[in-house]
Structure formats: C-alpha cells, structure tokens
Amino acid sequence: MLLAGCKDAPLSALHGASQQADHIATVWYAMAWGSALIVAFMVVLACVAVWSRSNGENRRRNIVLMAGGGVAFPVVVISAMLAYTYGAAPVPQPAGYIVEVTGNQWFWQVRYPLAPGGPKQSINEIHVPSGTSVSVKLTSHDVIHSFWVPRLSGKIDAIPGRVNSMTLVASEPGEYLGTCAEYCGVGHAHMQLKVIAHEPHEVEAVLSRLDAEEGQTR
C-alpha cells in the first residue's frame, strides 16, 4: 500500500512510458511479489520446524529438505527469473536519432550532431522525437555520473574517457524527468534533466531554435 504512493511520481520506475520501462516495472513486480511469497513460505517452514518434534529417525528426510530448499529451490527460482528478465526484454530497434550527452559537475550537456544546419546543443534538456528509437551516447567530463530517466529506461554510467550507449524510445510526446543516479559531489542532488519528446514532424523546428555548437553558424 505504501508503494502505491510512488506509482505516478515523475521519477517513478513503476510508471513506464516506454516498452523498456514497462518491462523493468513488470520484472520489478514479479521480483517483489515472488520474494514476498518466498518469505511467507520460509516463515511457515520455520514455524513447522519450531513446533514439530524430531525423533532422530528423519535424517534422510532432513537432507532432502535441505538440498531441495537450500539448493534446488533457489536455483530454479533464480534461473526462471533470469530467463524471464532477458527473454522477455524488448529488442532494441535500430536508432533513428542520435544525441550525445556529457555529464559535468553538475549539469548535462546535450549535443545533436545530426541537427539540420549543423550540430546544436542544449543544457539539461534532451529534445527527441516520440515513437523513435534514440541512441544516447554518454560520457563524462569530470567524475562518474549515472544517467537515469526512470519512465523511459534503466540506468547507465557516464564515465570519463569512455562512451557508453543506450537506446530509448518515448512512446508518446511528453516530458520525462531524469536525474544523475550516482553521487558526484555537492551539487549531485540538483543534477536533473528532462527528456522532451515531441511529435516527430516538430523536431526539426525545435532543433533549429537551439543554440548552435561553438564554432558553428546557425
């Protein structure tokens, strides 16, 4: 019941706006309810163990219970969860749009290398077309940051000297809040960003209003 309060928050991973985020939420629910059932089952077994009396002749049964409950059961549950998590994950589509994002203490620098009329840039806002697979190429200028837009996808680290990639798709136009998810210094808590998904035909006009990259003409 307490968790129900988190569902519609702007940074909620349980309120997906993409297939990828919906899949993460489904896995989260399966793990949460599965874990609750396992805990309940273990509590029942512990009660049975406390209340039953052993006459010392059940050694074989005890070994079977320990091997079953301690080895076979976790192996089956964890394997099934692993297969489900990877097997049912949405397959990334080839990217139709590219943004380059650089983490800085304490802001996100966004570059649109293929914008019409030359590369454009924005700060703490990522303009993307909705319904399109967006390739985010991520790096950092100083320390390790973590890029996380919970309603669209999972987390990925921004690491100095390295480019990490992820693909995200916003199913519908709208604004999706994101945040740095790895402590990166005193300004970390304010290091938020917004993915703004536009109707695909509006993106070109939006990009044309952004600042040109230094050294480029508009």
Q: Which residues are CB-neighbours of 154 under 8 A, at least 6 positions away?
A: 20, 24, 148, 166
Q: Is 156 in the site for Cu ion (CB under 5 A)?
A: no
- From the list 58-66, 120-128, 181-189, 210-218, the region that binds Cu ion by CB under 5 A is 181-189
In the chain, DSSP finds a helix count (H) and a strand count (E) of 4, 11
DSSP 190: G
Per-position DSSP letters for 46-80, written without gaps between them: HHHHHHS---S--HHHHHHHHHIIIIIHHHHHHHH
Give min distance, CB of 108 to Cu ion, in A: 10
Q: Does 137 bind Cu ion (CB under 5 A)?
A: no
CA of residue 212 relative to chain centroid, distance: 30
Q: Which of 180, 197, 203, 206 binds Cu ion (CB under 5 A)?
A: 180
> Which listed range, 4-12, 74-82, 141-149, 157-165, lies at the site for Cu ion (CB under 5 A)?
141-149
Give whichever of 111 and 188 is closer to Cu ion, judged by the CB atom: 188
- Taking CB under 5 A as the rule, does residue 184 contact Cu ion? yes
Distance CA 8, CA 25 (A): 13
> Which of the stretches 39-47, 127-135, 149-157, 180-188 binds Cu ion when contact is defined by CB under 5 A?
180-188
Q: Toward Cu ion, which CB reaches closer, 188 or 194? A: 188
What is the nearest approach in angstroms of Cu ion to the Cβ of residue 150?
15
Q: Are 191 and 181 contacting, i.e. CB atoms less than 8 angstroms apart?
A: no
Which of positions 19-58 make contact with Cu ion (CB under 5 A)?
A: none
* Alpha carbon distance 107, 216 (integer Å): 22
**What minimum distance in Å lies between the beta carbon of 182 and Cu ion?**
5
Among 15, 23, 188, 194, binds Cu ion (CB under 5 A): 188
DSSP letter (8 states) at residue 142: S
In this complex, which beta carbon is closest to Cu ion, that of residue 102 or of residue 130? 102
Q: Tell me the window of 4-12, 74-82, 157-165, 177-185 that interacts with Cu ion (CB under 5 A).
A: 177-185
Stretch that binds Cu ion, among 60-68, 79-87, 129-137, 172-180 (CB under 5 A): 172-180
* Binding residue count for Cu ion, defined by CB under 5 A: 5
Helix axes 73-87, 19-51, angle to 10 degrees: 170
Which H/E stretch holds residue 87?
helix 73-87
Residues near Cu ion (CB under 5 A): 145, 180, 184, 188, 191
